[in-house]
Amino acid sequence: MEDKSYKEYLEQITTFIFDVDGVLTDGTVTIMTNGDMLRRMNIKDGYALKTAKNAGFNMCIISGGTNLGVQKRLEGLGITDVYLGAHQKTEQFHAYLSDNNIDAKNVLYMGDDIPDVPVMKLAGLACCPQDAAIEVKAVSHYVSHRLGGKGAARDVIEQVLKAQDKWDGNFDAKYD
């Protein structure tokens, strides 16, 4: 990427790709006695994901985790391109872009840990939460002031939608 402020790239974003654990969640799990692992997602991030999807942006999730509750939540927000159990994330990244005729320069990818670094190097705009691993911060064009699972996704989505005049404050939008 050329030496420009990340804000100069907000207008070219057509696609958001997010990791889950540490980005859409705070990275912690509650382990139940039956072995189920529970995660918490921020409702404000959910509103932003749904708003971006409704505004016509491509939305994809690539995660190493396999939690079906996470998949149900994302599908409830209208996100159907969900790749779980992805440990080599570049494969799903390339497949998603190819299947949807998307140029990598139009992708904002948000990750938080080492497995995200190879994909972040391919995306047009690499972002991370404030509490991301130092190696992730080193390859990020933008480090959110928000923590993972605490509004980091909302931060980047809102910035892109506002830059493209698509954050309309439609408070009647239905979301779960």
Strand 142-143: give its sheet, edge to edge. 81-83, 58-62, 15-18, 107-110, 125-128, 142-143
Q: What is the DSSP string of 161-176?
A: HHHTT-----TT----
Averaged pLDDT score across all residues of the chain: 91
How far apart CA 16 and CA 65 sit, in angstroms, is 18
Q: Model confidence over 85-98: pLDDT tens digits?
A: 998 899 999 999 99
Determine what percent of the chain is predicted with pLDDT higher than 70. Answer: 93
pLDDT at 69: 85
Average pLDDT for residues 112-127, to the nearest whole number? 97
User: Domain for residue 85, yes or no?
Assistant: yes
The values of phi and psi at residue 74, to 5°, are: -65, -40
The conformation of residue 49, written as its DSSP 8-state character, comes to H
Determine what percent of the chain is predicted with pLDDT higher than 90. Answer: 76
Nearest to 24 by CA among 65, 78, 58, 54: 65
User: Domain for residue 91, yes or no?
Assistant: yes
Give me the domain span that covers residue 120. 13-163
Q: Model confidence over 18-67: pLDDT tens digits?
A: 999 999 999 888 888 998 888 889 999 999 999 999 999 999 999 988 88
User: Domain for residue 7, yes or no?
Assistant: no
User: Domain for residue 3, yes or no?
Assistant: no
Q: How many domains, in total, are found in the chain?
A: 1
User: Domain for residue 169, yes or no?
Assistant: no
Specify the CATH number for the domain of residue 129: 3.40.50.1000
Q: Is 70 exceeded by the pLDDT of residue 176? A: no
Which secondary structure element, helix H or strand E, spans residue 62, and what is its range? strand 58-62
Tokens describing residue 75 = 């599908």
User: Domain for residue 168, yes or no?
Assistant: no
User: Domain for residue 4, yes or no?
Assistant: no
Average pLDDT for residues 128-151, to the nearest whole number? 97
Confidence class of residue 3 from pLDDT cuts 50, 70 and 90? Answer: very low
User: Domain for residue 30, yes or no?
Assistant: yes
Q: Please give the C-alpha separations between residue 136 and each of 25, 27, 79, in angstroms, as whole numbers.
A: 17, 15, 25
Cβ contact 154:45 at 8 Å: yes
Q: What one-letter code names the amino acid at 18? A: F
Q: Model confidence over 153-170: pLDDT tens digits?
A: 999 999 999 999 999 765
